[in-house]
Structure 1
Amino acid sequence: MLTHSTRRWLAGLGVAGAFVAASASPAVAAEEAPIELGAYFNDTTLAAGSEGKIDSPLLFASEPVVVQGLTVTYDYRNLDGVVDITPDSSTWGCETPEAGVLACTDPFEIDLYEWASGGLFSVVMTPTAKAADGATGNLKVTVSAEGLAPASHTAKVRVGEGVDLAAPGEETNISSAPGGTFSAPLTLSNAGKTDAKGAVAVFDLDHSIRPDKQFSNCTYDDGRLRTCAFSEVTAAGKARSASLSYTLGKDTYAPGNEYGGYNWLTVAEFEDFNAYLQAGGYSVGKPGDGPVLSLPEAPSKVAARGFQADTDPMNNWSSMTIKVNGKNGADLVALGAQLTGDAGDVVKAALGVRNDGPAALDFSRGGSPVTKIDIAVPQGTTAVKVPEVCAPLEGDQQDWENAGKPGAKLYRCYPDVFIGVGEKQTVDIDLRIDKVIANAAGTVTINAKCECEGFTDDLKPANDVAKILVNATGGSGGGDGDGGSLPITGQSTGLIAGLGALLLAAGVGGYLVAKRRRTRFVA
């Protein structure tokens, strides 16, 4: 089990892009503690006779470090005669020191962080011609670098029967008002020549799309539908379908659009995916308290045996768009602070934003509007500690190369991709009082203009600016704050991105980039 935090794990998955990567705060390491490397490789099920799959390890370190001679070694001797491992076309610097071992080295300097980085040293895993359904073995992946101790992770690799699960290619379009109920189909087709023995639907639904009813063979996290598992056998060339009822949350922003969809996995592929989630500290949730959801049309059921892997995952995804009618906006309020101290004192300011509703704001889809938090440091003070979610601002350009660097006079920070009604999100900045100046003032400005698309429909723009007052002589004007760091997620116990995006990172849904209407938010 990996020990780094959930938020750093997700950053490594590439789900939330540059913002999350910039915002993961390094842990304070014990003095003189050695830097430790880490690696993780997904458990993988391959279809016999297929071209295999491409994947790469997730690499990380116990604290940010620049490494030289980063090397990943793939030891697949335990898979002799079952699976071949070869470098992907994008991977170079590889050699085979002995049969069943592939070692790849990058001679250049590479930054490693506490969040896992993927995409380096990709390999192709191909079942051999004699690999049969049910064959298994282990792949040991070791990461090393100059001056650092190596670290290893062992992944399970299986070869199974090839099937071709498919979902409808056309998008489902629905209209609803906040609080309305609607239904959408859940359809599984078998586009191959082999019967599919069970299947699992993994859902990627915007926060506003909530199940109207629970089922015992589906899982839920914080009331949100995550997965549904079916044991029915879908015969080759056949299809089966059910209808799911949803409610659009009363806090849905309107007018606008909400998005959702589902992806089909074989039973074995879902086992691989679930192991990946658990390694990152995630869970697909708990079974619902309702009846069993069935996929009607074929009455016969048999227990799945052996392993199955999808030969064409490009056709597994189905999406829906809900056009949200009506008018339901949000009032974002800037949160400033009022501080006092003597010359030389360091005081902490909790600065940020609060959503007074009535609508929640979900910025988790790429291309969706975002809000920014611009912080102007008060005169007579110096920012001596700044979280990496904040970057120095020059004009309208944030300098992410120096994210978290003290000493700037103006910073731009980004809140979480979801801001619920009544939720406060603040970032702690330590200010050193260099000179006592009565009523020294700085500002917190939300919904700041920038070169990217911004959230411009605030119900009360007048409260988008709050003061940071140091040694005020009277009055407040600082706004109310809420201590604590700016959270990476508004709901710490839930998945902060849809499971569809995690599928993309897990290597079982890379096609989602092309299939989804929108990708995840990138700052």
Structure 2
Amino acid sequence: MKKPSTGRRLARLGACAAAAGLVTVGAVATPALADGDQLWVTASPWQLVLPKASDTGPQPAPTTLNLSLSHDNPANQVVDGLLTVDVSGLAGIAEVTWPENCAPAGTTAVCSVPEVPATGNDSPLKVAVKVRAAVGAAVGASGRISYRATATTTTGEQLTAGENWTDVRVASGPDLSVAPLAPATGVTPGATVPVPVSAVNNGDRPVNGVRVTYYVTRGLTLGGLAPQCVGAPAGNDEGPIHPVTKVDCAYDDVVQPGGTFTLPSPVTATVAAYGLQERVDVGVQPLDGAEDLQPEDNGALKAVTVTNTADFAVRGARLTAAAGETVTAEVTFRNRGPAWVANLGSGDPVGRVDVTVPRGATATAVPDACEPRTADGGWWEGEVRTGAPRYVCNLPIWVAEKQTVTLPFRLRVDTVVTGAKGAVVLGPPYGTEPLPFDPNPANDRARIVLNPAA
């Protein structure tokens, strides 16, 4: 049972962006009510593929299954999480090592999670179960880890996450696992940060050559790349991802089981003058076409947070028209820079523009990015998008420094109202908090004025 989607479109920078597979389970697949709550168990990776155990030599490194709890309603405080993990389905297939926060009894363990975070917040305490193929388990043997959970709100409500499972399979092959990349914060434009890449072969077969792929946002430039590295604009089935560069590098290193691959020379990322929230997604895979046993851990993210600003601004319009005439109000958004802004990870717009139609006028044509609303901001129940008193317009998911976006509204003047004013308000994609990178909120508001007084 999987948790329902939040409805936001996720933008993938490339295959390595899916570095961690997640499965989230609960008792019912319905959104939480405003005064209710729902408990979830999240498993990463979503399935385990274990290297076959050696009959005589050193054993492959164990694979970690990370289990964590979360709940839906951020207004609640949820405590006393108890995660019950059942590994009876692994008999003869795999062996388990329990973390300190679990109390095992036979093939079952009860794991303690004192504080359960709201969904969207990283769990401060994960249950890291280490799993290794049993000696004698054949390639293709499979089993299952089951889990369920309970927790309590501070108001006494009991929450339950229904039983679910992670499938476990024994296989043979290479298994590259990339070391995490520490984020860089407080970086100034022009500065350079290291992007070290290393990967351990946790499989039972050697890796004959390694391919390293970088996906680099436009505010960064990689340095120190090997001569054989090739760069090109990134893309996917939906077309090019213009603000991202893909760099492919091939190395002929042979990485034995238990061995480590490292870059022949240090790679760095230099921040452009327009850098802000930057990232380098790194992925590795065997070069010879061999299937990696656990591809979920083949990627890592280097987040680079730059000390910079982007002055977002909006401009309205002043128009004159007689009754019955139609005019175009060109509402304009501009990023005055110096930084560009992007939400490439979430796919959310960088902001939204809220436009109120002036009194006495009717919107007869609106931009595709604009959704109709009632005067108080509620959902518009009309059968067509035109004619609403208010519109919320999504900006693109990224805007370059100095980029302008024009939102043309065709307005028919039904009744001449001298000095009729409509508001233009720039805000974040969700909620009402100020845009954290915008140093000048004063120019986030403007007006559409129809038939201004002389």
TM bin, normalised by shorter chain, reads 0.5 to 0.7
Partner of 1:164: 175
Residue 380 and residue 417 in structure 1: after superposition, are their counterparts in 2 closer, same or farther (change >3 A)?
same
Partners in 2 of 1:166 and 1:372 — Cα distance? Answer: 39
Cα deviation code 1:441-482 (max 9, x no counterpart)? 2221113796354415532222222221334455xxxxxxxx
In the alignment, what sits opposite 2:318? 338
Q: 2:260 aligns with which of 213, 221, 239?
A: 239
| Residues in 1 aligned to 2:335 and 2:362: alpha-carbon distance in whole angstroms | 29
Matches of 2:334 and 2:403 in 1, distance apart? 6
CA deviations 1:283-328 (Å, max 9, x no partner) are xxxxxxxxxxxxxxxxxxxxx4xx4222201211122233535xx3
Q: Is residue 189–residue 234 contact of structure 1 (8 Å, CA) maintained in 2?
A: no
**Aligned with residue 321 of structure 1, among 303, 311, 316:** 303
Identity %: 25
- For normalisation by structure 1, the TM-score amounts to 0.47
The code of the aligned residue for 2:290 comes to Q
Q: Hey, what's the Cα distance between the residues in 1 that align with 2:394 and 2:439?
A: 20
| Aligned match for 1:230, one of 250, 253, 272 | 250
1:289 corresponds to: none
Residue in 2 that maps onto 1:386 = 366
> CA 1:234–1:429 in 2, change beyond 3 Å: closer, same or farther?
farther
Aligned residue for 1:314, secondary structure, equals: helix
CA distance in 2, matches of 1:384, 1:196: 62
Does the C-alpha gap of structure 1 residues 220 and 233 become closer, same or farther in structure 2, counting only changes over 3 Å?
same
CA distance in 2, matches of 1:363, 1:223: 11
Moved more, 398-407 or 165-174: 398-407
- Residue 442 of structure 2: which of 459, 462, 474 is its match? 462
Equivalence for 1:198: 209
Is the Cα–Cα contact under 8 Å of residues 344 and 432 in structure 1 kept in the other structure? yes
Distance 1:339 1:450 in 2: 31
| Equivalent position SS for 1:463 | helix
In the alignment, residue 355 of structure 1 is paired with which amino acid? N
Single out whichever of 166-175 and 365-374 deviates more from structure 2.
365-374
TM-score, with structure 2 as normaliser: 0.53
State whether structure 2 residue 282 is matched by structure 1 residue 262.
yes
CA contact (8 A) 1:342 1:433 kept: yes
2:442 aligns to what SS in structure 1?
helix
Three-state SS of the structure 1 residue aligned to 2:196 is strand
Residue 455 of structure 1 aligns to a residue whose secondary structure is: coil
| Distance in structure 2 (CA, Å) of the matches to 1:251 and 1:322 | 13
Distance 1:449 1:323 in 2: 20
Q: How far apart in 1 are the matches of 2:404 and 2:336?
A: 9
Listed as ranges, the matches of 1:56-135 within 5 Å are: none
Distance across 2 between alignment mates of 1:451 and 1:333: 18
Task: Name the structure 2 match of 1:3.
Answer: none
Distance 2:272 2:221 in 1: 7
Change in Cα spacing, 1:427 to 1:184, as seen in structure 2 (3 Å) is same
State the AA in 1 paired with 2:355.
I
Equivalent positions of 1:478-489 (< 5 A) are none
How far apart are the structure 2 equivalents of 1:427 and 1:200? Answer: 44
The 3 A distance-change label for structure 1 pair 259 and 394 is farther
Q: CA RMSD in A?
A: 3.9
Equivalent position of 2:403 in the other structure: 423
**CA distance in 2: counterparts of 1:450 and 1:407, whole angstroms:** 24
Kept after mapping to 1: 8 A contact 2:172/2:203: no
- Structure 2 gaps of 5+ residues are 1-6, 13-48, 53-138, 141-170, 234-241
In our comparison, the structure showing a higher alpha carbon Rg is: 2
Q: Which amino acid aligns with 1:330?
A: A
Partners of 2:381 and 2:178 in 1: CA distance: 42
1:175: how far off? 5.4
CA contact (8 A) 2:211 2:286 kept: yes
Structure 1: distance between partners of 2:375 and 2:413: 25
The 1-side partners of 2:427 and 2:183 are apart by 33
Cα gap change, 1:418 to 1:400, in 2 (>3 Å): farther
Partner of 2:163: none
Q: Deviations over 1:253-283 (max 9, x none)?
A: 4xxx64433122445xxxxxxxxxxxxxxxx
Give the Cα–Cα distance (whole angstroms) in 1 for the partners of residues 304 and 198 of structure 2: 18
How far apart are the structure 2 equivalents of 1:236 and 1:311? 15
Structure 1 residues 337 and 453, CA, compared in 2 at 3 Å: closer, same or farther? same
Counterpart code for 2:283 = N
Q: Distance in 1 between matches of 2:381 and 2:176?
A: 44
Which residue number in structure 1 is paired with residue 230 of structure 2? 218
More helix by share: 1
Q: SS of the residue aligned with 1:309?
A: coil
Q: Matches of 1:398 and 1:211 in 2, distance apart?
A: 46
Task: Note the residue ranges of structure 1 that are not aligned, 5 or more in a row.
Answer: 1-11, 18-46, 51-127, 130-159, 268-303, 475-523
2: CA distance, partners of 1:397 / 1:210 = 42
Alpha-carbon deviation of 1:176? 2.5
CA contact (8 A) 1:391 1:399 kept: no
- 1:499-518 to 2 correspondences below 5 Å: none
Task: Name which of structure 1's ranges 407-416 and 205-214 shifts more when overlaid on structure 2.
Answer: 205-214
Number of the residue aligned with 2:191: 180
Superposed CA offset, 1:340-378 (max 9, x none): 444333333322311112222233344999532110111
Aligned ranges 1:396-415 → 2 under 5 Å = 399=379, 405-415=385-395
- Taking a change above 3 Å as real, the CA distance of residues 246 and 402 of structure 1, as seen in their structure-2 partners, is farther
Match of 2:275 in 1: 252
Q: Does the aligned pair in 1 maintain the 2:215–2:246 contact within 8 Å? A: yes
1:403 to partner: Cα distance: 11
**In 1, are the aligned partners of 2:201 and 2:256 still within 8 Å (CA)?**
yes
Check 1:358–1:388 CA distance in 2 against 1; reply closer, same or farther (3 A cut). Answer: same
Deviation at 1:174, TM superposition (A): 6.2
State the alpha-carbon separation in 2 of the partners of residues 231 and 447 from structure 1. Answer: 47
Q: Secondary structure at the match of 1:308?
A: coil
